[in-house]
Structure 1
């Protein structure tokens, strides 16, 4: 969402509460007020609007064959207060889950519709997306027309009711990112036009949607810059997508993965692409810093290619430059966020699901940059992908066929296999 639209929402929007990061992380124990770009009293009890609705089902088991609409017993819908807002709800109240799940999905959708410049239509027949925040299950899943989230589980395998997945912003943002991708890019028309990179890109798309959305919390931006002193080519809250606790995350966006380093599993396959576009975001940010005289271009290059023995000295240089210029560093990051959001939205709008290859998406990013900045970042984009072995192939290799990823998935099993996996949807 552009800074202009964000300001407009704060002036005239409806208030909700969302945890900016996993509430078990230090510094994120309390939810924050967010403003959805809808005037007070326009969002109905549920919450519900013309695109989606939350329903707090009673003792619901996960959907199997039959999907929405849910017609079983449910708790009363969440009501707005007299001013038309929903931020009065306590995190200790069961209704908080319905409120924050709706707010997260709606917020992420608004952010990316602004970058795409149009309404993102649902890639299913249902008129509205159904959101079920508390399913009696130590798992979560998405499917045509619905998202339903259960809970984490304790070491003994029992459901951990203190850890509802629907309150984890990154995971929900990633998942609605899949829905956005299915709308914008779609699915291959046949298995013969399906590639491993299509599935890897499916996961990377969700990661990128979540990363950009997380930068719309002032607390995230402020804490990120304070901890890093402006040096974002590092392992930090932004690059740790979907933190489960202070020691575990779903995936690392700041990584050194090349195509030759990863296997055919779609989450592994996503990492070189996610890493490449994350590098582009940070390069745009560092360019903003350099243009504003906040850092030298030489320091930016050293930060990108830093060896382990250089990290501490580079960090100290950033610290000296950052202190006293916090507001300018923040504005540089927000401007980079908005340019990058528009860049990826335009590139994805040019991308086909048929025979999808990473280098084709790279070329679409280059074309998008030409339209947005007259090709200012062409060399940066090529460099960020080239060393990851994502390069244009004049003579394409035979397609690598794989299975269609199912929408109904084993969330906890993915966590058990590898902590760096999201829902495989």
Structure 2
């Protein structure tokens, strides 16, 4: 979402509370006010609007793979009402009702961000049967899934992995929820391939799509941007909160966006297969950020090059010290450089994804579209950067790697007939 539209939402939008990162992480223990770009009073009790609605189901187990799906008709808790002014930020974060409001606000926020980058309203791929997306915040399950017309979330597991952790609802984890609604956006923008034209890289890209949607979306929290920059001093080629997907605690996360995975390093499972693409795209975002820093004379070109290829403890330490020196006193300039990189990268990926077809999808074809999108947006300013970020990961333009794929997934997805599909 552009900085202009974000400011517009603050002026006339509806208030909600969201944890920008897992509430168990240091620095993110309290939820923050966010503004949904809909005027107060236009969001009904639920919450619900013309694109989605929340159902707080009672003692519900997950929709099964056959003959189940929206609309949910079982017992439910009362819909959450807005306050007199039409806002929802009065809801106590320790209450059950909060799961409904944070789930709605996160999905709506992510949708608004990406509709801005795509430049148009995103119409659900299931709209012919279900005009609105059904959101179910708490089901008795240690997982979550999205399907044809719905998204429903369960809970994480305890550290010993033996029990469901009811204090850790997935619907209150921004990264996890943003990643999963990213799948729904992907299906709505790119679509689902015909069975005989499916490729393993379609599933890997499906996971990468969700990762990238989450990364860009979380950068719309000032607290997250400030936290990342204050911790890294602008050296984003490091392990930091931005590079961690679905962070569950201070030391646990589902997968890493900052990685050194090549295609020859990964297996057939879709999360594994997604890592080289997610990593390459994340590198592009950071390279654009560093290019901004160089052009604004905030770091040297030499430091930018060395940070990308740094190896060894001493070299990494020296680079970090240099970033700290440049960052000191220039915090606002570094932040503007990152926000500008965020918005260019969001537009770049949206334009590339808009021209991708699902049948016989390969990473090489997606890369071709990224290069074309960069040509349209900037005259090809970042072409060599884009190629370099993917080349060493063994992803080349028009490449077509054949692989077999397992059908495991942190969030299973169902097609219109409620059959399990590979995503």
Bin of the TM-score, shorter chain as denominator length: over 0.9
Q: Specify the alignment match of 1:421 in structure 2.
A: none
Q: Specify the alignment match of 2:75 in structure 1.
A: 73
* CA–CA separation in structure 1 for the residues paired with 2:404 and 2:222: 43
Tell me, what secondary structure is at the counterpart of 1:16? strand
Equivalent residues of 1:20, 1:32 under 8 A apart: yes
The equivalent position to 2:88 in structure 1, one of 77, 86, 89, is: 86
Shift of 1:248: 1.0
CA deviation map 1:151-210 (0-9, x unaligned) = 12333733322111110000000000000111111111232x211111100000000000
Structure 1 residue runs without a partner (length 5+): 411-423
CA RMSD of aligned residues (A): 1.8
Shift of 1:138: 2.2
Distance 1:245 1:36, change over 3 A: same
The equivalent position to 1:358 in structure 2, one of 357, 363, 370, is: 363
Equivalent residues of 2:269, 2:407 under 8 A apart: no
Equivalent residues of 2:283, 2:389 under 8 A apart: yes
Question: Following superposition of structure 1 onto structure 2, how do residues 16-27 of structure 1 map, counting pairs within 5 Å?
Answer: 16-27=16-27
Q: Specify the alignment match of 1:59 in structure 2.
A: 59
The equivalent position to 2:112 in structure 1, one of 110, 113, 116, is: 110
1:6 equivalent in alignment to 2:10 = no
The equivalent position to 2:239 in structure 1, one of 232, 235, 241, is: 235
The equivalent position to 1:260 in structure 2, one of 264, 267, 276, is: 264
Tell me, what secondary structure is at the counterpart of 2:242? coil
Give the structure-2-normalised TM-score. Answer: 0.94
Equivalent residues of 1:244, 1:250 under 8 A apart: yes
The equivalent position to 1:139 in structure 2, one of 143, 154, 160, is: 143
* CA–CA separation in structure 1 for the residues paired with 2:164 and 2:268: 32
The equivalent position to 1:374 in structure 2, one of 379, 392, 402, is: 379
* CA–CA separation in structure 1 for the residues paired with 2:252 and 2:96: 27
The equivalent position to 1:160 in structure 2, one of 155, 165, 177, is: 165
Q: Specify the alignment match of 1:306 in structure 2.
A: 310
Equivalent residues of 2:271, 2:409 under 8 A apart: no
Q: Specify the alignment match of 1:217 in structure 2.
A: 221
Q: Specify the alignment match of 2:29 in structure 1.
A: 29
1:316 equivalent in alignment to 2:321 = yes
Equivalent residues of 2:180, 2:411 under 8 A apart: no
Tell me, what secondary structure is at the counterpart of 1:96? helix
Equivalent residues of 1:194, 1:402 under 8 A apart: no
Shift of 1:298: 1.0
1:40 equivalent in alignment to 2:44 = no
Equivalent residues of 2:144, 2:410 under 8 A apart: no
Q: Specify the alignment match of 2:100 in structure 1.
A: 98
* CA–CA separation in structure 2 for the residues paired with 1:175 and 1:364: 23
Equivalent residues of 1:199, 1:405 under 8 A apart: no
* CA–CA separation in structure 1 for the residues paired with 2:333 and 2:245: 25
Q: Specify the alignment match of 2:394 in structure 1.
A: 389
* CA–CA separation in structure 1 for the residues paired with 2:357 and 2:151: 25
Shift of 1:403: 6.4
CA deviation map 1:83-127 (0-9, x unaligned) = 110001111111000000000000000000000001111111211
Shift of 1:407: 9.6
Equivalent residues of 1:142, 1:407 under 8 A apart: no
Tell me, what secondary structure is at the counterpart of 2:241? coil
CA deviation map 1:128-149 (0-9, x unaligned) = 1000111122222211111111
Structure 2 residue runs without a partner (length 5+): 414-421
Equivalent residues of 2:200, 2:405 under 8 A apart: yes
Equivalent residues of 1:143, 1:407 under 8 A apart: no
Give the structure-1-normalised TM-score. Answer: 0.93
* CA–CA separation in structure 1 for the residues paired with 2:198 and 2:217: 29
* CA–CA separation in structure 2 for the residues paired with 1:160 and 1:78: 24
* CA–CA separation in structure 2 for the residues paired with 1:400 and 1:295: 42
